Amino acid sequence: MRRIVAFVGLLFLAFVLIFGSSNEGMRLLSQRRYMRQDGWGADKFTFGDLYGLTYIKPFKMPRDTSFVALPVLETDSAKYKMHIIGDSYLYSFFSMDPRYFEKTGAVQFVRWSTPKAIPYQLAMDKKNILLIECVERNFRQLMQVQEIRNRIEAQPAAKAIEQSSSRFAFLSQINARVKETLYHPTLENNLEFLLFNLGIWAPFKELKSALNFYVFGRLDNDVRVSKNWKQLYLTQTVDPEKVGSSFYPTSDEEVAAYVAQLTEVEAYFKSKGFDHVIFSIIPNPVGVLNTENKPTNQIISRMAKHPAWKGILVDPTLRLQKNARDNFFPSDSHWNQRGAAIWLGQLNETLRTL
């Protein structure tokens, strides 16, 4: 009997390992789990991505996952093709329907997380606009020419090295397959999702989190609770020692360097046929909600006001600060539909002026 139990356990573990190494399998499983609302559904993001890291029960708040409603635009003429590279602040809130954008007839959207560069196709009968959107905590490393080219412009493939023998090639393929299985880049996260990202485990996770947080004062390293105890933040946006933080000390010389960085991006893509390049840096929620009672580095506005900056930078910070709590999810690192709609309105105002 023990041999049978051990054999069944071994088969189960082998299945979990193989399935967790399959990108296609994990994609299909994720879709099905997130569609379920019962104990067998995935709850990691249902109540906000930061709740999913902490499981602190007071922040267990249902999150609206619907797209922002299509706006009523001033004109329906299609003068532009929008080429967009962006993050979850966009693709989680907009369906990339061209009707979202003023004077736009077509949209090509590419995520920052794309595994390989996607060639862009310039329209011949419309002006081509490149919109580069990124949240504040990531813009320094992402809004660079090469980083953007890695996402929307195919790079020359490295010339394959000829194998000296078919035997060596065969062994190399086996080694690559073993490495892919044993050192899968997301295997740890996949296994955690497979085994533990289920609603039935939520009460136990909440109990463990309550014990760690309220008794021992411990919280997931990636998350901070606001001073007023009403908001969760990513640690990298709050910790002044993190370069992506709204409180990271930033000199005027560094601001000038970032302005030069964006100017270089604009010049490069205009040389490739784009008529306009629009940058939009979404402020960290902590820089808008003003819960920490200390000044931010105001890096986005300082860039926009820098005398060397001649480009287009959509900064929604001031508009989001009006009734700020209504524009963000308390248990998530993103804005909500209202905040996203405010940004869209500002972007469309910019498009009307081009």
Closest CA to 176 of 159, 157, 163, 189: 163
Given a cut of 60, whether residue 324 has pLDDT beyond it is yes
CB–CB of 328/289 below 8 Å?
A: yes
pLDDT (0 to 100) of residue 216: 73
Q: Cite the DSSP H helix spans in 197-305.
A: 202-210, 235-238, 252-271, 286-289, 299-305
What value, to the nearest 5°, has the Cα angle with vertex 87 and ends 102 and 140? 105
Dmax over CA atoms of the chain, in Å, equals 78
Given a cut of 60, whether residue 196 has pLDDT beyond it is no
Sign of CA dihedral 197, 202, 208, 211: positive
Residue 80's pLDDT band (cuts 50, 70, 90): very high
Given a cut of 80, whether residue 262 has pLDDT beyond it is yes
Given a cut of 80, whether residue 154 has pLDDT beyond it is no
Phi and psi (nearest 5°) for 109?
-115, 135
For 20, 113, 341, 345, the CA distances from 71, given in Å and listed in that order, are: 41, 27, 8, 8
pLDDT (0 to 100) of residue 52: 86
> Residues 13-42: what's their mean pLDDT?
54
Question: For 168-172, which contacts have Cβ atoms below 8 Å and span 24 or more sequence positions?
Answer: none
Given a cut of 80, whether residue 152 has pLDDT beyond it is yes
Residue 172's pLDDT band (cuts 50, 70, 90): low
CB–CB of 47/198 below 8 Å?
A: no
Pick the most confident of 180-194, 208-222, 299-313: 299-313
pLDDT (0 to 100) of residue 112: 96
End-to-end CA distance of the chain: 75
Q: Is 335 exposed, middle or buried (0-12, 13-18, 19+ CB in 10 A)?
A: buried
Residue 253's pLDDT band (cuts 50, 70, 90): very high
Given a cut of 60, whether residue 270 has pLDDT beyond it is yes
User: What share of the chain has pLDDT > 70, as a percent?
Assistant: 74
Q: What is the mean pLDDT of the chain?
A: 83
Residue 13's pLDDT band (cuts 50, 70, 90): low
For 64, 110, 205, 232, the CA distances from 35, given in Å and listed in that order, are: 14, 24, 21, 25
pLDDT (0 to 100) of residue 63: 85
pLDDT (0 to 100) of residue 75: 76
Contacts of 219 (CB under 8 A, 6+ apart): 54, 56, 212, 213, 225
Sign of CA dihedral 336, 342, 345, 349: negative
Please state, in angstroms and rounded to a whole number, the distance separating the CA atoms of residues 258 and 350.
22
Q: What are the beta bridge partners of residue 207?
A: none
Query: How much is the pTM?
Result: 0.81
Given a cut of 90, whether residue 157 has pLDDT beyond it is no
